[in-house]
Structure 1
Amino acid sequence: MTPQVMAQIHARSMTVPKPWSARTMQDFMRAPGTILVSRQAANGQLGGFALGRIVVDEGELLTLAVDPGTQGNGLGRDCLAGFLEACQSAGAARVFLEVAATNRIARNLYTSAGFTEDGVRKGYYQIPNEAPVDAILMTRSVE
């Protein structure tokens, strides 16, 4: 899995926030405490990934992306489960994330995985020529 392939999947699956570049992916992958969990699609290609980090005793899910052509087959759920397991193994007590208020599919996934909505960042995602989108803050324990 390369940062370029990850950026391609991110671009195909994200509108809010703005998709990340291969350079951004690479920078996160090189940072200390990074956790990257990926899953293959039925065709053997990269189908999705979860990218985050451990900071002291917390895990932060930075992004979770599933190629639109493979969505609905449990890859996102598998990536998230793998990420949570990795956070627990690394000693995290809890995991947090931000998700666009308009991303109902992701919010449902996170809720079904035990995350609770803990706050809102009003107008967090700025989109050219569109109204700002709120970020929903979510957390869950992994102890």
Structure 2
Amino acid sequence: MTPEALASLAARAYRHMRPWTEAQFAETLALPHSLLVTRPGAFVLGQIVADEAEILALACDPDHQRQGQASAALDAFHAQALTRGAARTLLEVAAANAPARAFYARHGYAEAGRRKGYYHRPDGTRDDALVMARALP
């Protein structure tokens, strides 16, 4: 997927926060430790640093939700991160985003911390980020 396509999909999927821009995707993809996994209508973008993988963005087009594409992308991200030496994966998710928190919990993630006021909501308010982690077998 191109940075433009990633930004377009994120704009459709991220209703709870400001989506990444095309430039932000391009900058991240240019980094040597980036890892992008795509499936039809979904993607996971992260980075591998030493023995940790960090998910920076996961999005699924609303028209493709509940079809297993986000789960398939996340599973593929885990597998590729493992082959690149990662032993665990971290991510941040908006505290108010209950569906995303439940999705990650179903995939073995548990809350590991909280960042107060981390996310900017479209209405100008802020939301906490929950840091979630899981080991990679």
Instruction: Place the TM-score, normalised by the shorter chain, in its bin.
Output: over 0.9
CA displacement, residues 56-100 of structure 1 (integer Å, 9 cap, x when unaligned): 110000010001111110111111111111111100011000000
Structure 1, residues 98-132: CA drift from partner, whole Å, max 9, x if none?
00011111111110111110111111113364432
Gaps of 5+ in 1: 41-46
Distance 1:104 1:10 in 2: 18
Q: Quick check: 28-37 or 121-130, which moved more?
A: 121-130
Distance between the aligned counterparts of 1:63 and 1:91, measured in 2? 20
How many residues are matched? 137
1:31 aligns with 2:2: no
Report SS of the residue matched to 1:32: coil
Q: CA deviation at 1:137?
A: 0.4
Supply the distance in 2 between the matched residues of 1:81 and 1:13 (Cα, whole angstroms).
19
Tell me, which stretches of 5 or more residues in structure 2 are unaligned? none
**Among residues 75, 80, 92, which one is paired with 1:81 in the alignment?**
75
CA 1:129–1:2: 2 relative to 1, 3 Å = closer
- Correspondence for 2:105: 111
**Once the two structures are aligned, what percentage of the paired residues are identical?**
41
CA contact (8 A) 2:17 2:122 kept: no
Residues 16 and 125 of structure 1 are in contact (CA less than 8 Å); yes or no, is this contact kept in structure 2? no
Matched residues in 2 for 1:129 and 1:34: separation?
31
- Aligned equivalents of 1:12 and 1:92: distance in 2? 30
Deviations 1:31-54 (A, max 9, x none): 0111100002xxxxxx01000000
- Structure 1 stretches of 4+ with a deviation exceeding 6 A read none
What's the CA shift for 1:21? 1.1
Instruction: Determine the structure 1 residue equivalent to 2:60.
Output: 66
Task: Name the TM-score, length of structure 2 as normaliser.
Answer: 0.94
Task: Supply the AA of the counterpart residue of 1:59.
Answer: A
Cα RMSD of the aligned pairs, angstroms, is 1.2
